[in-house]
């Protein structure tokens, strides 16, 4: 299968991977033939890229980092508990609920077990095939990214559980923000921006006294928008004043936000988001943490169409774990843009004079 911009797809192509709705339930199954109506609908719903079947790349299999069962369970718990907060008139309707803590701890265990069982430890882009309520899916994505990074960093099970919970619940304070502001398609006014920034404090207040939720998880909600140079919010703390868990979450929160379709802009591709993260190294983000993230994320996802510096065009077929920024490319077109009858593969980790010139955006 290959990954294509939805607007580049043509009627008659077939889906290579299922499309899920915001609850993790299959909306469009794999092998479904795409009509112009379906393509228009997907674009309107914010699906900027889709996996499609393709004879030249039918051996490419893109596995999700967690099982469908875990995805459905996690999104159901996020939705039901977050909606209790949204619909409640006061914190009292949500606080001191041991069930919430136990439910989310069970979700974290399922996620960690799924990730432990994976042979491929690379973080693949996760927003390609989900029609998402941004808050719910973003919370799950950030949790999975942070958990995988925590594993790569070497955290023990207890530390990892706290980091994962903090990541899953980092944006719960947005449930107390006017939804019209959150979903606004254009730039926010100064007053609206100030209102949105209150979500960090709201999140801390919601979580700090919750049974079965560690206080450090509440501080992840409080600190995930703080930055190394003190330019963040809500308190403008800097450097070592920011907990390491919040520093990890700051990176993956920013990355997932950039690679997700939003009302005011299209999703970026992973390599574009990574460039922005590195531009903030030393001022906004911790250098070693961003470097570890880079070394564990598939900057060029499997199935992505790329053009090499030679002018040849092809598809990413394998990721080199040691150098994920230099994958294996199956060349499908020569420099003259002529389709090859016998495609061949180039391992960019061995051909250091070649580089990816551009991707199909």
CA–CA separation, 23 vs 341, rounded Å?
A: 43
Annotation: CATH topology of 68-296? Hypothetical protein af1432 (1.10.3210)
- Angle 232-234-240 from CA coordinates, rounded to 5°: 60
Question: pLDDT band at 68, cuts 50/70/90?
Answer: confident
- Burial letters for 66-81: b for 16+ Cβ neighbours within 10 Å, e otherwise? beeebbebbbbbbbeb
Q: What pLDDT shows up at residue 167?
A: 98
Looking at residues 331-353, what average pLDDT do you find? 95
Between CA 145 and CA 282 the distance in angstroms is: 21
Question: How far is 259 from 316, CA to CA, in rounded Å?
Answer: 18
- Cα 67 versus chain centre, distance: 16
Contact 184, 263 (CB under 8 A): yes
**Digit-coded pLDDT (tens) for 292-306:** 999 888 888 899 899
* 144 backbone dihedrals φ, ψ, rounded to 5°: -65, -45
The residues that bridge with 316 in the sheet, in sequence order, are 329
Of 40 and 68, more confident: 40
What's the average model confidence in pLDDT over 30-37? 95
Highest mean pLDDT among 96-105, 124-133, 293-302, 307-316: 307-316
Q: Over 292-322, what HEC string results?
A: HHHHHECCCCCCEEEEECCCCEEEEEECCCC
Q: What is the mean pLDDT of residues 313-341?
A: 93
- Write down the mean pLDDT value for the chain: 89
2-57 homologous superfamily: Molybdopterin biosynthesis moea protein, domain 2 (3.90.105.10)
pLDDT above 80 (res 319): yes
Q: Do domains 2-57 and 68-296 have the same CATH topology?
A: no
By mean pLDDT, which of 21-30, 145-154, 290-299 is the weakest? 21-30
Is the bond leading into 234 cis (omega within 30 degrees of zero)?
Answer: yes
Q: Which residues contact 281 (CB under 8 A, 6 or more apart)?
A: 287, 290
Taking CA atoms, 328 is separated from 259, 294, 343, in Å, by: 22, 17, 13
pLDDT one-digit tens code per residue, 194-205? 999 999 999 999
Where along the chain do its domains lie? 2-57, 68-296, 305-359
Q: How confident is the model over 210-264, as pLDDT tens digits?
A: 988 999 999 999 999 999 999 999 999 999 999 999 999 999 999 999 988 766 6
């Amino acid at each position: 299968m290959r990954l294509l911009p939805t607007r580049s797809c043509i009627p008659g192509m077939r889906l290579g991977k299922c499309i899920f709705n915001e609850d993790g339930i299959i909306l469009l199954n794999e092998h479904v033939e795409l009509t112009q109506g379906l393509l228009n609908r997907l674009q309107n719903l914010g699906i900027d890229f889709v996996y499609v079947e393709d004879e030249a790349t039918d051996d490419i299999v893109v596995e999700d980092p967690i099982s469908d069962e875990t995805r459905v369970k996690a999104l159901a718990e996020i939705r039901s508990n977050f909606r209790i907060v949204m619909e409640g008139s006061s914190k009292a309707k949500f606080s001191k609920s041991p069930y919430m803590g136990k439910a989310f701890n069970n979700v974290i265990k399922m996620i960690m077990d799924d990730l432990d069982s994976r042979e491929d430890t690379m973080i693949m882009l996760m927003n390609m095939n989900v029609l998402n309520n941004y808050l719910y899916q973003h919370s799950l994505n950030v949790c999975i990214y942070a958990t995988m990074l925590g594993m790569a960093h070497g955290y023990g099970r207890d530390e990892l559980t706290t980091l994962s919970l903090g990541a899953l619940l980092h944006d719960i304070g947005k449930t107390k923000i006017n939804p019209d502001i959150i979903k606004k398609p254009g730039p926010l006014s100064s007053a609206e921006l100030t209102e949105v920034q209150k979500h960090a404090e709201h999140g801390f207040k919601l979580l700090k006294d919750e049974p079965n939720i560690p206080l450090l998880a509440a501080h992840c909600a409080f600190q995930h928008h703080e930055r190394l140079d003190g330019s963040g919010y809500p308190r403008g703390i800097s450097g070592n004043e920011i907990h390491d868990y919040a520093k990890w979450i700051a990176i993956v929160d920013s990355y997932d936000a950039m690679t997700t379709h939003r009302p005011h802009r299209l999703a970026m591709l992973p390599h574009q988001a990574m460039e922005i993260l590195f531009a903030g190294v030393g001022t906004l983000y911790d250098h070693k943490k961003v470097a570890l993230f880079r070394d564990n994320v598939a900057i060029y996802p499997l199935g992505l169409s790329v053009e090499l510096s030679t002018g040849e065009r092809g598809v990413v077929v394998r990721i080199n774990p040691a150098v994920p920024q230099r994958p294996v490319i199956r060349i499908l077109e020569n420099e003259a843009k002529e389709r090859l009858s016998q495609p061949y593969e180039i391992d960019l980790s061995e051909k250091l004079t070649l580089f990816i010139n551009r991707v199909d955006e």
